[in-house]
Structure 1
Amino acid sequence: MIFVKLFSRLPFFFIHFLSYSISFFMGSILRYRRSQIMQNLKIAFPEKSHLERKKLLFQFYLNLTDVGFEAIKSYSMTREQMLKRFKITNPEKMEEHIKNNEPFLLLAGHITNWEWQLSGYASQLDFGFGGVYKPLSSKFTDTLMLDIRANFGGYPIPMAKTMREILVRMKRKKMFSFGLVADQSPPGYDKKREWVQFFGRETAFFSGPEIITQMTKMPVYYAHISRTKRGHYEGQIIPVFQAGEEYVKGSSQVTKKYAALLEKNIKESPADWLWSHNRWKYTRDEVENK
């Protein structure tokens, strides 16, 4: 852990130079999940040529290594440094909820620097901003990521305890907000999933956001992210479900809007999503007939 802390104090130009080197190694020598990435890119962008998708492939590796090294770098960053590098373009929406002591949920995706989303929002809120996470198998890596994600007042919440944490905090009637990266595929043949259109295919999403919205009726936003230049990002929250809006049980209305906003975000920076994940592993028939 000491080595990681020392590494995090290196200047950004060195961090990014190292990221270039590692991304080249991953793409050209290690060929990390190369076939899976190319397959996903073909599904999402059938109109692009093989050469265009190959260019996206190598840009993907660079974004992936940038995310990893910038996450470590944030370990030693001050709140002021994070505020300069992660700007929220419409903070007034959050300020309105804070003024009314109204909890809200942010749904993010594994796009651009998703690791800085928790830190970026936490650095600009004067109350604990919760980030839902799935515990990692490596104890060292899990502890490291928890420490990084707890920076600037953020607090990581295990996925299995999300609903309980929300209900406890709502009962206390104290201001809180949660961030949830909700674009990974539900594991195995678990039938608790929402099926919606995503890049022209019926795709399974976790049912968590629907369950939370149905039970709490709390406002839900999509956390859009874009890179303004290397190591600098902008966040924008876009309404998905608002207080007073009717929620129709079984409609997947939150997941549908989230998936559409995520797809739009990906199309704006197509190399920056986590294409190495096997997103279309199962079809609805395979799950329901298992």
Structure 2
Amino acid sequence: MSNPTSKAYAWYYHVLDWLLRALARLPLRALYVLADFLYVVLAYVVRYRKQVVLTNLRNSFPEKPEGEIQRIQRLFYRNFAQVLVETLKLADMPDAELKQRVHFGNPEVLENHFARGRTVLGLSSHAGNWEWVLTSGALWLSAHADGVYKPLMNPFFEKFMRQLRTRTGAGLIPMRDTLRDLVQRKGEVRVVSMLSDQAAGPEDRPYWTTFMNQEAGFYTSADRLASRFHCPVVYVSIRRLRRGYYEIVLTDLYDGDAPLPTDSFPITEAFVRQLETDIRLFPADYLWTHRRWKHKREVKN
């Protein structure tokens, strides 16, 4: 991996780069000690987006007593701290160890589509360790794995994270270039992974549906791209088995052949229902600091 620092960065980024790479060389068991410290800092010292987390949990689980909401919140911060150090460990983790820690329970779901010469859209979310999905997929699957992502504003962190995410051979596609990429690489056998639980604003012409007891707008790109390029669509669920170990379970949402309606978004709706099921099963594994429900549907007079 090349060094991400350059003369364009301020001097302290050189120090930060050295520190991050030094930490990444520690074994995960040592990094989990750091994660326990980060948990305390995030949850009790800086109280990182604590009100956002509590509001999201209370609105999503109105049937749960406050004591259970508080318990899920604590577990979320602990899991979130572990995801942070696990993501950093990508800078130094051997491919064999990553493949051992992330198990694909049914890779044949994707492999069957690859055998038909298809580009597959993989819809995942900010659950479990979302940063290990693409990187492990590049090791498990016979075809190439690309991920659609939103570039970071800070050039140092953009380059640093890009290197972590591509170090196992995966590719990255800036969100704004998704359509162009699919046009230029039409017919290529691969999976294109999309984190499809991002909050879509009114300007994005979202699909509005009820998600975790709240109205939420979702991007409709999965339906539109699948229809235009005849891409099968697969839901990607990443489930925490225990600390540092995950299982990925794949579910077909669309075969790429059947006609899709132009006035509704069945793929997006199916994704939302699958994600909702996962969140209810593993509530502490979802990214509750995300302002998922910040947009409201515009009321037309």
TM over 0.5: yes
CA deviation profile, 1:46-68 (whole Å, cap 9, x unmatched): 01111111111111111111111
Q: What's 1:67 paired with?
A: 83
Give the alignment's Cα RMSD to 1 decimal.
Answer: 1.4
Q: What's 1:273 paired with?
A: 286
Q: What's 1:181 paired with?
A: 195
Q: What's 2:244 paired with?
A: 231
Q: What's 1:166 paired with?
A: 182
**How many residues in Structure 1 have an aligned counterpart in Structure 2?**
285
Q: What's 1:55 paired with?
A: 71
Letter in 2 for 1:253: P
Equivalent runs, 1:148-227 vs 2, <5 Å: 148-170=164-186, 173-187=187-201, 189-227=202-240
Q: What's 1:108 paired with?
A: 124
**Separation in 1, partners of 2:62, 2:287:** 18
**Separation in 2, partners of 1:158, 1:137:** 12
Residues 1:262 and 2:271 are matched in the alignment: no
Q: Retained in 2: the 8 A contact 1:186–1:205?
A: yes
TM-score calculated relative to the size of structure 2: 0.91
Select which of 100, 106, 109 maps to 1:90.
Answer: 106
**Separation in 1, partners of 2:229, 2:217:** 23
TM-score calculated relative to the size of structure 1: 0.94
Aligned with 1:284: secondary structure?
coil
Letter in 1 for 2:240: R
Q: Retained in 2: the 8 A contact 1:197–1:256?
A: no
Residues 1:35 and 2:51 are matched in the alignment: yes
Runs (5+) with no aligned partner, structure 1: none
Aligned with 1:152: secondary structure?
coil
How many percent of aligned residue pairs carry the same amino acid?
Answer: 29
Residue 152 of structure 1: how far off its partner (Å): 1.1
Letter in 1 for 2:223: E
**Separation in 2, partners of 1:157, 1:25:** 34
Residue 167 of structure 1: how far off its partner (Å): 1.6
CA deviation profile, 1:202-257 (whole Å, cap 9, x unmatched): 21011221221221121001101111111000001111111322311121111100
Equivalent runs, 1:10-25 vs 2, <5 Å: 10-25=26-41
Aligned with 1:258: secondary structure?
helix
CA deviation profile, 1:22-50 (whole Å, cap 9, x unmatched): 11111011111111110010111001111
Which 4+ runs in 1 deviate beyond 6 A? none
Letter in 2 for 1:3: L
Letter in 1 for 2:61: F
Runs (5+) with no aligned partner, structure 2: 1-16
Q: Retained in 2: the 8 A contact 1:196–1:255?
A: no
Letter in 2 for 1:251: S
**Separation in 2, partners of 1:102, 1:54:** 45
**Separation in 1, partners of 2:32, 2:182:** 37
Q: Retained in 2: the 8 A contact 1:97–1:104?
A: yes
